[in-house]
Structures are given as structure tokens and as C-alpha cells.
Amino acid sequence: MLTERRAQLLSLIVREYVDSAVPVGSEAIVRKHELPFSSATIRNEMARLEEDGYISHPHTSAGRVPSDVGYRYYVEALMQESDLPKEVKRTIRHQFHQAGREEDEWIQLAAAVLARAVENAAVVTVPRSPETRLKRLELVGIQDNAALLVMVLHQARVKQQVLIFPEPVEQDELLRISNRLNDVFAGHTAAEIGRSQAQMTQIEWHVANAVREIMEACDRGGFDEAYLEGVRNVLKKPEFASSEKMLTMLDVLEQKSLTRLIPFAGLPAEGITVRIGAENQQDAMRDYSVVISPYGMPGGIMGAMAVVGPTRMHYSETISTVRFIAGLMSEMLATYYDE
């Protein structure tokens, strides 16, 4: 634990650096905040904070900047989470109520609203059930011994795959097979299809196995489907002024990469998770902070959202915004699937 004076000083350094992106010097902080201590006293306290790993000293500046450890201490022990103003909440709610009925429309809206509100990048995943369930399937003949398998999964997801049969199959027979499999497997998971003891022909099992494999691939995919907004917000930060750092950031902020780099799969069922710099397991994320929250119905249909930006982040505002929008998305999801 830090002394009260060092904790106060660390809090000031974090807030000053987050606002200005300029290393914080002792004289400037004493003068701006009218501290009842001399610059020499503050320099000594800053030296102790540096020794203990809470701040660091860039070589090109006399000021100090928070370290990952310093940001973590600030978030857990010093930060006061600020509630969003009522007018902001009202505006965000209005935007969602103006959205259409299509799931993709309001998920993309959530990413855009979140990115704009926190001035960083935002990722919102498409919600999904813990296990994929089959709603119905169709087989459409495209050649004598080939057919297009069209699967409609719960949550209106559609998957397609071409199947090759060992012998020609007429469309009437494809329709019979579709009806038979819909009767047997509608509402089933991949595991339930795999365990089925239903009496079926060889060609019916051929289709059923293809259905099971596609559903298993969907389950393994996790949170791969997502919407990304706010890339320009991050690239405008002074941390990415150099072209090299900008290119690195663009690699990270590539939609398919982010869903693998952010630990969506290991999230607790509720609450906010904050990963700061080196706390991220993926090397590509070591220069960034991520604020993550699930949304949806625990044990049922769930999605997740995250804000990605430099470690110099407005953590209080970001956390409160993510918490509010995640709650709003949970409300919408409950309404969307209860109707």
C-alpha cells in the first residue's frame, strides 16, 4: 500500500498524463494543484514511486509517466468510477430505440456509439448461445450427385456447404431427407446429433454428419463474428504519431485479429474486466489497455464488448460507458429473444 501522499501524487500524475500525454514534472504539478509541499519534496516522493515501479522516467524528459503497475493501482485503489450524465444516457438510449429490428444493425450501432463516446476503438461481438442449435435445413440439388446444404441455426444464422454424394440423388429424395432430418434434429446441438440413435439410411447419416461438423465449427469459432469501430480515434492519439507505431496499431486493430487477441472466451459471466499493457497475454497487445464486458443473459445468449486503446486511457469514463452500454444491450437482447 502507498502512503496517503504518494497515493495522492500517483493519482495526480495519472490524471495529468492521461489528459495531456506529456510527462508530468514535479514543479508543474505543485504549481497547478497548489500542493502544500515543495517541489523538492514532490521530487523525492516521485523518486520513491519510480523505485517501486509505479511511474517511469522517459529518457527525453524530466517528467514522469505512469507504468502499467501505476495504472493498475490507480484503477483498483484510487479511481472513482464516474456515472454517465443523465443527458448522455438519454441520448444513447434514444439512438438504440431508433435502431431497426435487425440484430446486426444494433450491434454495429453499439460499436459505433461506444467508440465515439470513449474516443478509442470498440469491438462488439455478435451474441450467441453456449451451444449452436439447428433450426432447420434444406437440400437443394445442384448436380446429379451434389447438393447445397443450407442450415438455419438459432439466432437466424445461416450456414451453407456443398455436399457430394456417392451416387445421383433426385430433388424429391433430397426433400424427403431434409424433412426426415428436420423431424429428428430440429432444436438439437452438435453433441446431441452425434449421440443420436435414430434409424437412418446411409445417405441421411452422410448429411447428418455434415450438419454436426458445421455446428461444431460454429461452436469452436467463439466470438469470431464482431463489429469494429473507432480505428481513427486510436490512430489520432499522440502515441501513434510515428508511421511504424501506426502500422503496428493497424495490424492490431484488424477486425479478425482483435477477436482472437482480446480474451473474450475467458470472461466472467458479468462485470468489467480491465487488462493493462503487459497484463495482456498476447504480445501484440502489450502496449494497449482493454476494457471488456459481457452482455446478454448469463447461461443463455451472450455477447461481449471491448474498448481498445493506449494504456493512457480515461479509465473511469471508459469503464462507466462500457458498463452502461453493456447493460443496455442486455436489456435489448432479453426483449429481442423473449418476443
CATH number, domain at 101?
Answer: 3.30.450.40
Interval 296-308 mean pLDDT: 87
260 or 89: which leads in pLDDT: 89
Query: At residue 224, does pLDDT exceed 80?
Result: no
Q: How confident is the model at residue 335 (pLDDT cuts 50, 70, 90)?
A: confident
Query: 94 and 26 in one domain?
Result: no
The domain total for the chain is: 3
Model pLDDT, residue 52: 96
CA 226 to chain centre: 8
Q: What residues form DSSP beta bridges with 128?
A: 302
Query: 292 and 273 in one domain?
Result: yes
Q: How confident is the model at residue 245 (pLDDT cuts 50, 70, 90)?
A: confident
Q: How confident is the model at residue 182 (pLDDT cuts 50, 70, 90)?
A: very high
Query: At residue 196, does pLDDT exceed 80?
Result: yes
Interval 118-141 mean pLDDT: 91
190 or 332: which leads in pLDDT: 190
Query: 59 and 170 in one domain?
Result: no
Instruction: Give the CA count within 13 Å in the CB-facing half-sphere of 320.
Output: 14
Model pLDDT, residue 100: 67
Model pLDDT, residue 208: 96
Task: Give the C-alpha separation, 281 to 11, whole Å.
Answer: 26
Query: 229 and 122 in one domain?
Result: yes
Model pLDDT, residue 221: 66
Q: How confident is the model at residue 102 (pLDDT cuts 50, 70, 90)?
A: confident
User: 258-295 pLDDT, tens per residue?
Assistant: 778 888 877 787 899 999 999 998 888 899 999 999 99
Place of cell 443463455: 300
Query: At residue 73, does pLDDT exceed 80?
Result: yes
Average pLDDT of the chain to the nearest whole number = 90
- Domain that includes residue 200, residue range: 134-221
In angstroms, the Cα distances linking 310 to 50, 233, 277 are: 21, 11, 8
Q: How confident is the model at residue 338 (pLDDT cuts 50, 70, 90)?
A: low
Strands 146-153 and 157-164 turn out to be antiparallel
Q: How confident is the model at residue 337 (pLDDT cuts 50, 70, 90)?
A: low
Query: 227 and 210 in one domain?
Result: no
User: 29-62 pLDDT, tens per residue?
Assistant: 998 998 888 889 999 999 999 999 999 988 767 7
Query: 217 and 228 in one domain?
Result: no
CB 61 within 8 A of CB 26: no
Please choose, from the candidates 280, 284, 275, the residue with its C-alpha nearest in 3D space to the C-alpha of residue 318.
275
Q: How confident is the model at residue 238 (pLDDT cuts 50, 70, 90)?
A: very high
Give me 165's grid cell.
454424394
Residue that is last in its domain, among 221, 246, 266: 221
Model pLDDT, residue 237: 92
Percentage with pLDDT > 70 across the chain: 95
Query: 93 and 61 in one domain?
Result: no
User: CATH number of the domain that 194 lies in?
Assistant: 3.30.390
Query: At residue 71, does pLDDT exceed 90?
Result: yes
204 or 240: which leads in pLDDT: 204
**Amino acid at position 32, single letter:** K
CA 65 to chain centre: 27
Query: At residue 325, does pLDDT exceed 80?
Result: yes
151 or 244: which leads in pLDDT: 151
Query: 231 and 213 in one domain?
Result: no
User: CATH number of the domain that 73 lies in?
Assistant: 1.10.10.10
Residue that is last in its domain, among 170, 188, 221: 221
Query: 118 and 255 in one domain?
Result: yes
Query: 237 and 291 in one domain?
Result: yes
Model pLDDT, residue 222: 65
Query: 150 and 101 in one domain?
Result: no
User: 248-261 pLDDT, tens per residue?
Assistant: 888 877 755 677 88
In this structure, how many other beta carbons lie within 10 angstroms of the beta carbon of residue 114?
A: 28
Place of cell 510515428: 242
Query: At residue 307, does pLDDT exceed 90?
Result: yes
Query: 227 and 217 in one domain?
Result: no
Residue that is last in its domain, among 203, 221, 239: 221
